Structure 1
Amino acid sequence: MQKVDHKIFIIVAVLMLAGAVFSFTLPVFLEMRRHLSEYHFLGRYILFGSVGFLIMILLANLNPDKWFNKIGWIIFVISGILVLVLPFLPESIAPIINGAKRWIKIGPFKFSPVEFFKIGVIFFLSWSFTRKIQKTRNLKEDIKQFLPHLIFLGLFWILIVFMLSDLGQVFVMISLFILMLLAAGGKLKTFGVMVLAAVSIIVPAILFAPYRFKRIKDWLYTASSNFLPQPIVDGSSANYGQVIQSMNAIHHGGIFGTGLGNGIFKLGFLSDVHTDFVLAGIAEETGIIGIGLITFLIGYLIYRIFKIAFRSEKKEYQLFALGVGSLIAIQFIINGLGVTSLIPIKGLTVPFLSYGGSSLMALCTAIGMVLMISKRAKYIKE
């Protein structure tokens, strides 16, 4: 059995160190407004990060042939049950925050089951596609193979969209479904069918929710105002004030940034600067150079994970590693495009950098499982 890929440990540790630093420098205004300690978010990030890192180390040292499936099923089943019951829990346990019920409260802490459910879905697809998806002669047979998976997970996705008001996470999971299906041996024509399936979920979710439809219209107005002489639709930038301030923060940072702790747009202009808009906050304080370094680290992490996927001898391990690498890439790209108004903002975390215990521990769990299966990959010559 090979050793784990220690470079992934180092990259994740560096990204988490950066996440801790920016959990200290960015949310200062929020801490002042809520009369919190200046170390409030830093302390929580270190707590969740430490737990997540220990989980990652523990999982990395397990035998994948014995533990991979067991842990994967535990994550999928428990997180799936929590997602199903979450809409029906009392507000004392599942508080409504910003009009959505997405978190379960345990004492002073909250966690989001959907963050772990994404990891569970990646495991479920890697396990199921390995056993069910075979090369077929035509598109009809191909559809018959993946349709049960689509119907089963589609029920969860519909609940997440309409009951938890979380379209962004469903978009991520549908994207993972498509990528993993193609990697498992699905035909390219299947891509078109999957796009239609995605549209059948996403379009009604927008049309039957007036606030989402208005948000899309306002985004088109804002984006076209930023990049074209005239906006292409009538609308308002009021709902995209955060995005406008995000772009101002990025512009203010320039090449070298204002220096750690010296950003000004975090002082009430970007209220989510430590979560959804963390890239804008980082860009202001560290400039293009800082964002470039972050992008390099994320890209190199994805590269190492994909390398494990391509070198794994078991198809199940290949698909899981591919799914985890794709998850990190999708969330990073979507967030980056969102904070620059190129696409509607989705409220997705930036892996390891955004403040959020659920996202941090779920990602550490996923990386730990990837490191676990890296011991079964063919030797990687450096």
Structure 2
Amino acid sequence: MSLWTFLNGGDSLGRINQWFTRFKTHIKQLDLLLVLVYIVLSLIGLVVIYSASMVPSQRLLDATPDHYLIRQLIFVTLGLIIIAIIYNFIRPSLLQSSNFQMVMVLFSIFIILYTFFFGTEVNGEKNWIYFGSMGIQPSEFVKIVVILYLAQVFHSRRNNLSSIDQFYGPAVVIVILTASVVFQDFGTGAIIIAIVGAIIMFSGIPFKYIASIIGAGAAAIAAILGVNYLRTGQLLDTYQMGRIQTFLNPFEDPLFQGYQITNSLIAISRGGFTGSGIGDGIMKLGYLPEAHTDFIFAVLAEEFGLIGVLTVIGLFMILVFKLLFYALRTQVMFYRIVLAGVAIYFAAQIFLNLGGISKVIPLTGVPLPLISAGGSSYLSFSIAFGIALVIIKEIRKHELK
């Protein structure tokens, strides 16, 4: 068949028109503002990562200045591809299927236990698995598993939420997952606890049971601390105690325990209203460890000033509040729980990162969503964001006409 015949054939034109119709429908069901915010935050992250990592790349790795930029650009590209695949080929029915749920939970427990026994310790936390020079943090993806699992649990029991005994089995699964993560990565464990708490609030469980759940959660935390005391001889690990002491008085030991937070506060204060200018920050030049990862917001504050800080926080707020908007509008329990869970996932991680580097709370070592360098965290955010877009597509298609 010639090209002219293909372009002018009735069947071919019909297929093209059908494709364009489907494409327009997809665009109509896609929340373009959310996608734009995701892309803009990712681009800001690339710019600040390049600025923050140019010198460390050369001094510490003897690599080119764009070493971390190229790595992050690869993850951003993979993230966009993953979102496109999820949005076009994944349906909520798959996420809710019992087989998918079972495989997801069992594999998560297996990989977390494998990391606990055979993982690599980095910065005091044994939460990495390395394949050659590439490493992943399995705990980053457990957050998504917890969201999807609890969403299905509450959806399937939505007509009988007052029967608390039907939640004993799922509670055991969540405790196993959360406790396993807490032992490896306290910051990620705290985020999972926040996600679980928010999901319980959005589920509509009678308030009288929430107190029981809080009590059970407190007992579980006490048990975790007790096990840690038997294992190490202290309630918290040494690095965790160090972070608490640093939080209480970072300037008592500014050259050792308080070195990171002291230099972070200096970087933030240097930014002023407009910042020193992109690439012209000083604190990233060996004074601020982990400048391109956990403390990247301090670099952003120094170089972009208050204007840059408010811009990024504003973008994060759009992302979180849009997800909560859809969660509150939908009548489907599964959709509501997933969107609320993803929103709190983002919000909790933003709070822990920004609160830690600004001395509002103790440092937890969690990255800033979409901006900090790191493949595991970026891909975890991308998967969660892609799932949220799928849910929003269903809501816009059936509920928000």
TM-score by length of 2: 0.83
Q: Are the aligned partners of 2:29 and 2:396 in contact in 1 as well (CA < 8 Å)?
A: no
In the alignment, residue 9 of structure 1 is paired with which amino acid?
V
Per the alignment, residue 63 of structure 2 pairs with 36
With 357-366 and 145-154 compared, the bigger mean Cα shift is at 145-154
**Structure 2: distance between partners of 1:160 and 1:97:** 15
Distance 1:36 1:50, change over 3 A: same
Per the alignment, residue 243 of structure 2 pairs with 215
> 4+ residue stretches of structure 1 with deviation over 6 A?
379-382
Is 1:339 the equivalent of 2:357? Answer: yes
In the alignment, residue 257 of structure 1 is paired with which amino acid?
G
**Structure 2: distance between partners of 1:60 and 1:365:** 10
**Structure 1: distance between partners of 2:266 and 2:215:** 37
Q: Are the aligned partners of 2:158 and 2:333 in contact in 1 as well (CA < 8 Å)?
A: no
Is 1:272 the equivalent of 2:316? Answer: no
Distance 1:133 1:173, change over 3 A: farther
Per the alignment, residue 232 of structure 1 pairs with none
Measure how far apart 1:65 and its partner are: 4.1
Unpaired segments ≥5 residues, structure 2: 1-24
In the alignment, residue 291 of structure 2 is paired with which amino acid?
V
Q: Are the aligned partners of 2:49 and 2:296 in contact in 1 as well (CA < 8 Å)?
A: no
Name whichever structure is richer in helix by fraction: 2
Per the alignment, residue 36 of structure 2 pairs with 10
Q: Are the aligned partners of 1:276 and 1:348 in contact in 2 as well (CA < 8 Å)?
A: yes
Per the alignment, residue 375 of structure 1 pairs with 393
Query: Residue 135 of structure 2: SS of its match in structure 1?
Result: strand
Percent of matched pairs sharing the same residue: 27
Measure how far apart 1:200 and its partner are: 3.7
Per the alignment, residue 108 of structure 2 pairs with 79
Measure how far apart 1:23 and its partner are: 1.4
Is 1:169 the equivalent of 2:167? Answer: no
Query: Residue 27 of structure 1: SS of its match in structure 2?
Result: helix
Q: Write out per-residue CA displacement over residues 175-216 of structure 1, whole angstroms, 9 at most, x where no aligned residue.
A: 111110121112334444444444444452585235133432
Unpaired segments ≥5 residues, structure 1: 226-234
**Structure 1: distance between partners of 2:383 and 2:253:** 41
In the alignment, residue 143 of structure 2 is paired with which amino acid?
K
Is 1:352 the equivalent of 2:370? Answer: yes
Per the alignment, residue 106 of structure 1 pairs with 131
Alignment length, in residue pairs? 361
Q: For 1:181, which of 187, 200, 207 is the aligned residue?
A: 200
**Structure 1: distance between partners of 2:123 and 2:342:** 29
Q: Write out per-residue CA displacement over residues 212-249 of structure 1, whole angstroms, 9 at most, x where no aligned residue.
A: 33432332233xx7xxxxxxxxx755422211111110
Measure how far apart 1:324 and its partner are: 0.2
In the alignment, residue 83 of structure 1 is paired with which amino acid?
I
Q: Are the aligned partners of 1:63 and 1:372 in contact in 2 as well (CA < 8 Å)?
A: yes
TM-score by length of 1: 0.87
Q: For 2:147, which of 122, 126, 134 is the aligned residue?
A: 122
Is 1:323 the equivalent of 2:341? Answer: yes
**Structure 2: distance between partners of 1:44 and 1:200:** 42
Measure how far apart 1:76 and its partner are: 4.2
Distance 1:270 1:201, change over 3 A: farther
**Structure 1: distance between partners of 2:192 and 2:382:** 18
In the alignment, residue 182 of structure 2 is paired with which amino acid?
V
Q: Write out per-residue CA displacement over residues 314-346 of structure 1, whole angstroms, 9 at most, x where no aligned residue.
A: 210110011001110111012111111111011
Between Structure 1 and Structure 2, whose CA radius of gyration is higher? 2
With 23-32 and 319-328 compared, the bigger mean Cα shift is at 23-32
Distance 1:338 1:194, change over 3 A: farther
In the alignment, residue 298 of structure 1 is paired with which amino acid?
F
In the alignment, residue 20 of structure 1 is paired with which amino acid?
L
Q: Are the aligned partners of 2:87 and 2:390 in contact in 1 as well (CA < 8 Å)?
A: yes
Give me the CA root mean square deviation.
Answer: 2.5
